[in-house]
Structure 1
Amino acid sequence: MRLTWSRVGILMAVLLLVAAGVVAWLNVAGEDPLTGDANSFVATPEQVARGAYLARAGNCAACHTDRGGAAFAGGKGIATPFGTVFASNLTPDAKTGIGTWSAAQFWRAMHNGRSADGRLLYPAFPYPNFTEITRADSDALLAFLRSQVPVAQVNRPHALRFPYGLQPSLAVWRALFFSPGVYEPVVERLVQWNRGAYLVRSLGHCAACHSPRNAFGATRDSLELSGGLIPLQNWYAPSLASSAEAGVADWSTAEVSALLKTGLTPRGAALGPMAEVVFRSTQYLNDADIAAMAEFLKSLPQTPPHARAAVELGKDVRTHGEALYKDHCAACHGANGEGGSGPGGVVYVPLAGNRKVLLDTPANLIHIVVNGGFPPTTAGDPRPYGMPPFGPALKDEEIAVLASYVRSAWGNAAPPVSALDVLNAR
């Protein structure tokens, strides 16, 4: 028996060594040799300008600039279900930033998710999406970041729970869920479509929000852009591949472009996290790139809406909900949820048939009622009209009743909302 257990122990040890070897190999597979140093890369003015544009497309400042902090100096905490990841300093400071990074090291970070010192990077930095960018775009981004003012700000250590803060744990995660790659143009598609697909899938990293995640925080590639709840924010990023959620196959290119450029169309407005994307990123993209993104998004196969039976609310709930709607909502959204327009071209979106209202999860509707709805300020809509918050004035039970009424009135048919739903969304 002693010999048998010894053999089992040896076998287990061998298997562990083999598994460790496979994990180690998968974590370096596809990496290019590091060549050159920081001084061997000399940026051109054209690269700097191109990099500034690409940094907008990637919305880099949203994470790498802390509130009240210097641009791209890092320090902003990004909450995840596994703890807090703090964004790194991207300024060209030699000691605390990326001033000594070579172009090859920066490319490795973007393409392979590995820092200049060899550490594995956490996918809160969306290298599973950025891996598809081209080397030329990576070099342009580096050129722009090197043109920034150096800021001496030491990177904050991540605050992740055990065992998520360990490099071996991250190595296993990457072996299971990450493979480096570049965008491969689809030859059957036009140049414009491929440009849009490249922007959406790589620098735009749209799937980071608009895709479901598994228990380990990895996006489920088989369900790309099919919608997902943004961790800890409790905003739902609706499916871009569903006509019942945020699919735009039946929109005109002009309508999709307007939403990305201004945050507002007669069909609806960009609110919550998407408003920030429009504010910081997409409004600055040129018309050709916006049209390319619209072309790609319009081409996504659409899941048709599923049939829903009419929702029957109790008489007391319906009466109370209707009264709350008349008191707080009807003046703008219409007595029958038809929407309308106000002074100065203000558009009050209709609630009857509104896809935000009818999502299976009521999280976004609750957020808007509680905290207000504020489209982004853009060049195309410099003074957007926002909806005031009703969270301070209404109790959770009242918000639940109001939301349930809106989701069931005027032909709407969506499940009712409970006070617990409101509490969770708050």
Structure 2
Amino acid sequence: MSRMRSLSIRLGAVLLLAGLGAALIAWLNVRGEQPVSDALPTVVVSPGLVLRGAYLARAGNCAACHTERGGQAYAGGKALTTPFGIVYAGNLTPDEETGLGRWSADHFWRALHHGRSRDGRLLYPAFPYTEYTHVTREDSDALYAFLRTLPAVRQANSPHDLRFPYRTQAALAVWRALYFSPGGLAPEQDKSAEWNRGAYLVRGLGHCAACHAPRNFMGATQNNLGLDGGLMPMQNWYAPSLASSAEAGVQNWGIQEVVDLLKTGVSAKGAAMGPMAEVVYGSTQHLSEPDLQAMATYLRALPEHAPTRQPDTQVAPTSRELGAQVYKAQCAECHGARGEGRLGAYPALVGHRTVTQASSANLIKIIVHGGFPATTDGNPRPYGMPPFGQSLNDTEIAALASYVRSAWGNKASGVTPFDVNRVR
């Protein structure tokens, strides 16, 4: 009897703890939420508000995820591949059956600020409400007003294709309890208005941390403020650290050099390629000069962090010789015999941060797939680099990458054929 009683007490204690844990998770997932109105409309829509919302949609690059290639703008359907399965972007047009037609401004605000859909479901953070929670109610209302002016598109949302248990609301609730806390950005009184505006754009609508902050094994961003960089899941592009001048930090750049990069995709110090070129094309080239200067001010003021340590990968002399041969045959005509480049056309490889940073992923990507800055009003005919992935094998690409990372005074680690195969 005493043994049965002991087991009952233990079981009761476990159930009590489980109940308390479930209650805590439930509370963490609703904290700060206010009653939501179904009334339509709940904002006074004016032409000025719609224009402001259209601008903010560009700042958030909303169309990039919510427009399927060849599809109607903002009608959703685009597949976003994650380590946990596929998430499909939703329809943001005002169709009443498949879009936001029945959403009130309160529903939209709750989605941005709390990551919850109109029907109360928790949203997956592929929609970056972890950053959009910083967006103000005024800007949320402007975005809502703009989206309601779009042509309504009847396009049903595709169900997500996620593995168990990630597809369950219970698992998502636990994730949010651990890694998501809703809240705005209070202005820092010891900083200028320009810095605070830049912080709001970078950390909020710009959601730069979604790419430039490292992620843990559960896909949660770490060190949101540090923007210390990390490999982008499933894409194998490396989003370089914005806090290290050895990677993508702009602490020693001039304001105009940063503005030029965000506005045109190129500057005296570098060019945006890969996913960042897409951001410039779809978002930052459309921002106002004051907002670009604010972003530049904030990014230049980020505390400098030490660069990532170089891997200890040695390169055999035969590999270096092969790399020199490939470089001479394929690259020297544009980038110069000694990697000096050609001003205004082809970048110098000597000291180039994409070449010398600890991660060789982006260098490999560019060799394999080519490198193309964004086409912008300020750079309508950008120079591009052709892909070599079809003409060079993994061994040759590894040798070439190792060579340019160690030639002409560059001091970066070697690259192996396995590195190339993994990134390809």
Displacement, 1:310?
11
Any conservation in 2 of the 1:266–1:349 contact (CA below 8 Å)?
Answer: no
2:132 aligned partner: 130
Displacement, 1:35?
3.0
Q: Give the aligned residue type for 1:366.
A: I
1:388 aligned partner: 386
Any conservation in 2 of the 1:230–1:237 contact (CA below 8 Å)?
Answer: yes
| Corresponding residue SS for 2:233 | coil
Q: Give the aligned residue type for 1:420.
A: F
| Corresponding residue SS for 1:219 | coil
| Corresponding residue SS for 1:39 | coil
Displacement, 1:42?
3.2
1:76 aligned partner: 78
Displacement, 1:314?
3.0
| Corresponding residue SS for 2:399 | helix
1:105 pairs, out of 104, 107, 127, with: 107
Are residues 417 and 222 of structure 1, via their aligned partners in 2, closer, same or farther at CA, if it must alter by over 3 Å?
same
Q: Distance in 2 between matches of 1:363 and 1:132?
A: 31
Any conservation in 1 of the 2:29–2:173 contact (CA below 8 Å)?
Answer: yes
Which whole-Å deviations, capped at 9, do the CAs of 1:293-315 have from their partners, x for residues lacking one? Answer: 00000000112458979997433
2:420 aligned partner: 422
Is 1:22 the equivalent of 2:20?
Answer: no
2:251 aligned partner: 249
Which region of structure 1 is more displaced relative to structure 2, 166-175 or 318-327? 318-327
Which whole-Å deviations, capped at 9, do the CAs of 1:252-301 have from their partners, x for residues lacking one? Answer: 00100000001112322100000000000000001000010000000001
| Corresponding residue SS for 2:86 | strand
Q: Give the aligned residue type for 2:58.
A: R
Which region of structure 1 is more displaced relative to structure 2, 213-222 or 230-239? 213-222
Q: Distance in 2 between matches of 1:29 and 1:249?
A: 37
1:410 pairs, out of 408, 411, 423, with: 408
2:354 aligned partner: 356
2:117 aligned partner: 115
Any conservation in 1 of the 2:373–2:384 contact (CA below 8 Å)?
Answer: yes
Q: Distance in 2 between matches of 1:311 and 1:266?
A: 31
1:370 aligned partner: 368
Are residues 421 and 15 of structure 1, via their aligned partners in 2, closer, same or farther at CA, if it must alter by over 3 Å?
same
Q: Distance in 1 between matches of 2:236 and 2:88?
A: 20
Correspondences of 1:82-231 after superposition (within 5 Å): 82-221=84-223, 224-231=226-233
| Corresponding residue SS for 1:23 | helix
Q: Distance in 1 between matches of 2:314 and 2:420?
A: 20
Q: Distance in 2 between matches of 1:55 and 1:333?
A: 38
| Corresponding residue SS for 1:422 | helix
2:271 pairs, out of 269, 272, 288, with: 269
Q: Distance in 2 between matches of 1:326 and 1:371?
A: 19
Q: Distance in 1 between matches of 2:139 and 2:43?
A: 14
| Corresponding residue SS for 1:69 | coil
1:38 pairs, out of 40, 65, 68, with: 40
Any conservation in 1 of the 2:334–2:346 contact (CA below 8 Å)?
Answer: yes
1:58 aligned partner: 60
Q: Distance in 2 between matches of 1:353 and 1:309?
A: 18
Q: Distance in 2 between matches of 1:82 and 1:246?
A: 28
Q: Distance in 1 between matches of 2:264 and 2:170?
A: 44
Which whole-Å deviations, capped at 9, do the CAs of 1:101-141 have from their partners, x for residues lacking one? Answer: 11111000000000011000000000000000100000000
Any conservation in 1 of the 2:309–2:358 contact (CA below 8 Å)?
Answer: no
Q: Give the aligned residue type for 1:58.
A: G
1:286 aligned partner: 288
Gaps of 5+ in 1: none
Q: Distance in 2 between matches of 1:153 and 1:58?
A: 22
1:340 pairs, out of 316, 339, 342, with: 342
Displacement, 1:36?
5.1
Q: Distance in 2 between matches of 1:155 and 1:318?
A: 51
Q: Give the aligned residue type for 1:117.
A: D
Q: Give the aligned residue type for 2:320.
A: R
Q: Distance in 2 between matches of 1:222 and 1:182?
A: 14
Are residues 190 and 9 of structure 1, via their aligned partners in 2, closer, same or farther at CA, if it must alter by over 3 Å?
same
Which whole-Å deviations, capped at 9, do the CAs of 1:337-369 have from their partners, x for residues lacking one? Answer: 11113xxxx421110101101121111000000
Any conservation in 2 of the 1:110–1:138 contact (CA below 8 Å)?
Answer: yes
Identity %: 58
| Corresponding residue SS for 2:406 | coil
Q: Distance in 2 between matches of 1:164 and 1:40?
A: 34
Q: Distance in 2 between matches of 1:99 and 1:310?
A: 56
